[in-house]
């Protein structure tokens, strides 16, 4: 059976994390993020982890080749035999090229680009409120608590994250357009990209993502 490699692209705040988790569950594919790969290799003290920590200790970026080595070390494990979902990778065209070189070519590559206009992303993030006690998440317009500023479940005072401001979000978006948006173009020219409108309700977005996978596997 061939492997399905799912790649989820989308600006920060487009709802990628939610969809990645749901897709991985419904397809029974391991959900692999580079952050998890680093943690795994560092805590287990692997050779790759030791190499990576040398760069991190010096405040330098871990080279793409090393990230790819960690990735393929992970995806060679049994649980990835029918495929896996990549979250937050590739982040640059260089990483996409490096990944392409290492893939065997026999896998079904499904690239989903979750698109949400900037102004909606800003609105979503800036209105976000969270409960410091129980972790519940609210939104001033989309999911307001019954009593303004108070958690529905535990009555604690809701707070806003310090970096959830329009300026910070805009900076994150700019970095995304500069570095990661070209990754979608890269895939558009090679295997094709399934564009999903991320402005819809999460359930509808999930359905559209699932259709991308079904179509690609057909």
Q: How far apart are CA 18 and CA 132, in angstroms?
A: 21
Based on the shown chain and the rule CB under 5 A, indicate whether residue 129 belongs to the binding site for Zn ion: no
Q: According to the binding rule CB under 5 A, does residue 157 interact with Zn ion?
A: no
* DSSP label at residue 198: T
Question: Of 21 and 153, which CB lies nearer to Zn ion in the complex structure?
Answer: 153
Q: Which lies closer to Zn ion via its Cβ, residue 18 or residue 130? A: 130
| Residues 85, 49: Cα–Cα separation, whole Å | 21
- Position among 56, 61, 120, 134 found at the interface with Zn ion (CB under 5 A): 134
80 is a site residue for Zn ion (CB under 5 A):
no
Note whether 175 binds Zn ion by CB under 5 A.
no
| Cα→Cα distances 193→60, 66, 81, 216, Å | 32, 26, 23, 10
How far, in Å, CA of 187 to CA of 179, rounded? Answer: 14
Instruction: DSSP letter for 106, please.
Output: -
Instruction: Note if 39 is an active site residue.
Output: no
Closest CB to Zn ion among residues 137, 166 = 137
172 in active site:
yes
Asked if residue 19 has a cis previous peptide bond (ω within 30° of 0), the answer is no
128 has catalytic annotation? yes
Q: How far is the CB of 160 from Zn ion (least distance, A)?
A: 14
Catalytic residue set: 16, 91, 128, 161, 172
| Residues near Zn ion, by CB under 5 A | 131, 133-134, 136, 151, 153-154, 156
């Amino acid at each position: 059976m061939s492997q399905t490699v799912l790649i989820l692209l989308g600006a920060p705040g487009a709802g990628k994390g939610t969809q990645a988790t749901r897709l991985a569950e419904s397809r029974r594919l391991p959900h692999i993020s580079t952050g998890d790969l680093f943690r795994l290799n560092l805590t287990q003290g692997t050779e790759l982890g030791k190499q990576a920590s040398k760069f991190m200790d010096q405040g330098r970026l871990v080279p793409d080749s090393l990230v790819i080595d960690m990735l393929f070390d992970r995806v060679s494990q049994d649980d990835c035999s029918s495929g896996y979902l990549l979250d937050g990778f590739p982040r640059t065209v260089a990483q996409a090229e490096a990944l392409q070189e290492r893939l065997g070519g026999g896998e079904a590559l499904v690239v989903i680009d979750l698109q949400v206009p900037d102004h909606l992303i800003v609105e979503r993030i800036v209105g976000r409120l969270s409960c410091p006690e129980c972790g519940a998440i609210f939104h001033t317009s989309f999911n307001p608590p019954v009593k303004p500023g108070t958690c529905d479940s535990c009555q604690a005072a809701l707070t806003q994250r310090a970096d959830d401001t329009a300026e910070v979000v805009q900076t994150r978006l700019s970095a995304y357009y500069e570095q990661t948006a070209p990754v979608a173009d890269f895939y558009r020219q090679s295997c094709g990209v399934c564009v999903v409108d991320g402005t819809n309700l999460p359930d509808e977005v999930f359905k559209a993502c699932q259709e991308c996978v079904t179509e690609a596997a057909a």
